[in-house]
Structure 1
Amino acid sequence: MNKAGKIISVNPPRAIAGGEVFIECENFQITNTENFGCFFGGEAARIIGASRTRVIAAVPDTDFDSTDVEIQLESDGERSNSFQITIGRKIAEDLHLVANPAVDPNDDAIILTRSGSRGQQLPVTLFRLEKTGFLTEMSAEIMNPTGVAFDRDGQLFVTARGDGEVFRVSGDEEVVPFATDLGIPTGIAFDKNGEMFVGDRGGTLYRVTDAGKGESFALLEPSVSAYHLAFGAQDASLYVTAPGLSSFDAIYRIDRDGFDEIFYRGLGRPQGLAFDRAGNLYAAACIGGRHGIVRIAPDGEAAEIFVAGMNVVGLCFTRKGELIAATGDAVYSLPIGVEGILLD
């Protein structure tokens, strides 16, 4: 009998570097602490836990030849069968993201940030990741950029938590103040009518008029870091996370009149949000002790870990069906064939 046993399944079947996957197996034999291992595309992985029926392993931080990567177990020099999963390709690093990236509807470039600590002015804080894969510096100078979003006319807006403002960035990267006196503005989203909503992590959600005037729309509990906002795929409701220190945080749903309810509860530090066209909500969060991107059913009744990853803060979808996962310092692309609603 093969001492490495047989791999039955891997959960989740998608991950980025550092993500922890559960490998369900049978007859995996461990006779001492040095004679067994787990390999991703031939690269040894760090094993977090192992038994005859389950191995928990962290994805190696390496450049695989493909996003389709084979996993194998090893024991006493024998290898198990292979099992294929999708590993995200690192497409940018040396950043500081604290919320979702955004896809430019004009040319499909991805807008990324190097936010810095509050009050820290860095030489370059905004970047464009072009379709060609080149990361270019933007000349727009904004201190502590946090949330980035495009309106329906393709204009880029950026919240700056250090200044308490929202800025508009023109096509030639000129920075124009748009709205002020918004507390510590973090999350930003536009509804289907083109109205802007901004979340002050102190507890206020603002509806911002075309003239840049912020009007209190709803009140929630304060966040220790940032509010994250997204509008639903199948309704006009605003969905919000306000990450705290609990492992049982909620995602809130707010109707057009500003009344809130809990859409889903049971997440650790939920952050960036995005919807697919089927109405599933994706959240950068922890569920059941597992970190990464969580997928929540349209009715909010079920949730599962969808992509394994550590320190994931945001995400978005591209026109090509890629999921873009952002950690605090890097960005990954996973070809999963899911269409988002961010580019309408």
Structure 2
Amino acid sequence: MTEVLRIWPQAGVPGSLIIIECRGFDASDYAACDVLFGETPGRIVGASPDRLLVAVPDELTERDRFTGVQLVSAGKTSARVPFFVAERLAENLHPVANPAYDPETGAIFTTISGARGKKVEVSVWRIGPDGKAAPFLDNIMNPTGMTVDREGTLYITSRHDGTLYRVSPFREVVPFAENLGIATGLAIDRSGNLFVGDRQGTIYRVTPLGDVTPHARLEPSMAAYHLAFAPDGNLYVTAPTAAGTREAIYRVTPMGKVEPWFVGLGRPQGLAFDQAGNAYVCASLDGLRGVIKITPDAQEAELFIAGMRLVGLVFDDKGTVILASNHEIYRVSLGVVGYDPNRA
């Protein structure tokens, strides 16, 4: 009898690698082995009687994304076990940080950030609740960090000119704060203050009136700063370096004190929190990459969603996580409600 004991993690984007722990899988005849996602076979990367490494298929029907996983070997078939494959909403993009979600309209905002100093035809895209992407802005070069305030105003950093832009619901774009260095990460606190990460080593605080002050100092990043607030009121930051698999998530207090919060990730990038205070970060852990879930006490971490090229994420208010790779936007409903300081 072939039996699936555990799938780790229980969700993934197309093309990602997952581990299936099983019993009785006959790997002696490779041609007679299959791992079915619905009716679509995944690619078996490695197999033994009790463990499989499998790539999630790149193309799945809507039905197959929710049908679950089933093992086939030597004429024996296992029962189906739940597994959730993320839906691809848009492609041919270039996000480099978290997308933004507007709870009032259900819209998702993301970017074609492009090479620094290079203008693209459309730099900001809007994805409606129906999952359809449409051009939104063409006049911000190298858009990077994004967030939406409680009034539905979109804010965007430009790493090209070091400016924080404010975008009205009518697409009016105005500079809100300037001289912010290589402005990348962006987050908003409960009071409406915006925090901008200059990857050269400074986190700036921008008040609702546009006044700018340095808030904290970190080591420079080779890529970008990624910022998110947690329910505890602290700001959390990732800043990829060349430290391999020992990189950290940093905690920044309201007074600007910086300390490592969790250490042991590979190239951590975009992050977000749920209402219980769990952190979710795009990184690698123990050789597998995707979204890593970390408990509020920073004592436990596990792969939550598999994904090879994920750079950012945001939760909507309906239990869905929206994922950004360096080319695509995905969504998958996992029943996790994110923490939003605007509505805390």
- TM-score by structure 2 length? 0.95
Q: Distance in 2 between matches of 1:301 and 1:30?
A: 36
Question: Is contact 1:158-1:168 (8 Å) kept?
Answer: yes
Indicate yes or no: 2:107 matched with 1:100: no
CA drift at 1:76: 3.4
Question: What is the SS of the residue equivalent to 2:116?
Answer: coil
Q: Distance in 1 between matches of 2:43 and 2:241?
A: 30
Give the length in aligned residue pairs.
Answer: 340
Which residue does the alignment assign to 2:54?
57
Which residue does the alignment assign to 2:8?
11
Which residue does the alignment assign to 2:45?
48
Once the two structures are overlaid, the 10-residue window that deviates more, 212-221 or 178-187, is 212-221
Indicate yes or no: 2:240 matched with 1:243: yes
Which residue does the alignment assign to 1:270?
268
Question: Is contact 1:140-1:174 (8 Å) kept?
Answer: no
Q: Distance in 1 between matches of 2:134 and 2:189?
A: 29
> Deviations for 1:53-95, whole angstroms, at most 9, x for unmatched residues?
0001010111332342321222234433322211111111111
> Deviations for 1:255-301, whole angstroms, at most 9, x for unmatched residues?
11111111111111111111111111111111111111011101111
Which residue does the alignment assign to 2:33?
36
Q: Distance in 2 between matches of 1:42 and 1:63?
A: 9
Q: Distance in 1 between matches of 2:253 and 2:291?
A: 25
Identity, in percent, stands at: 44
Residue of 302, 312, 315 corresponding to 2:313: 315
Once the two structures are overlaid, the 10-residue window that deviates more, 32-41 or 280-289, is 32-41
Which residue does the alignment assign to 1:255?
253
User: Aligned letter for 1:30?
Assistant: A
Question: Is contact 1:291-1:309 (8 Å) kept?
Answer: yes
> Deviations for 1:113-143, whole angstroms, at most 9, x for unmatched residues?
1111111100101111111222111135111
User: Aligned letter for 1:269?
Assistant: R
CA drift at 1:144: 0.6
Q: Distance in 1 between matches of 2:250 and 2:88?
A: 31
CA drift at 1:26: 1.0
CA drift at 1:32: 4.0
Question: What is the SS of the residue equivalent to 1:138?
Answer: strand
Which runs of 5 or more structure 2 residues have no equivalent in the other structure? Answer: none
Which runs of 5 or more structure 1 residues have no equivalent in the other structure? Answer: none
Question: Is contact 1:294-1:303 (8 Å) kept?
Answer: yes
User: Aligned letter for 2:254?
Assistant: R
User: Aligned letter for 1:62?
Assistant: E
Q: Distance in 2 between matches of 1:102 and 1:259?
A: 27
Instruction: Map 1:154-233 onto structure 2 (within 5 A).
Output: 154-233=152-231
Question: Is contact 1:63-1:89 (8 Å) kept?
Answer: no
Once the two structures are overlaid, the 10-residue window that deviates more, 197-206 or 31-40, is 31-40
Pairwise CA RMSD of aligned residues?
1.4
Once the two structures are overlaid, the 10-residue window that deviates more, 74-83 or 17-26, is 74-83
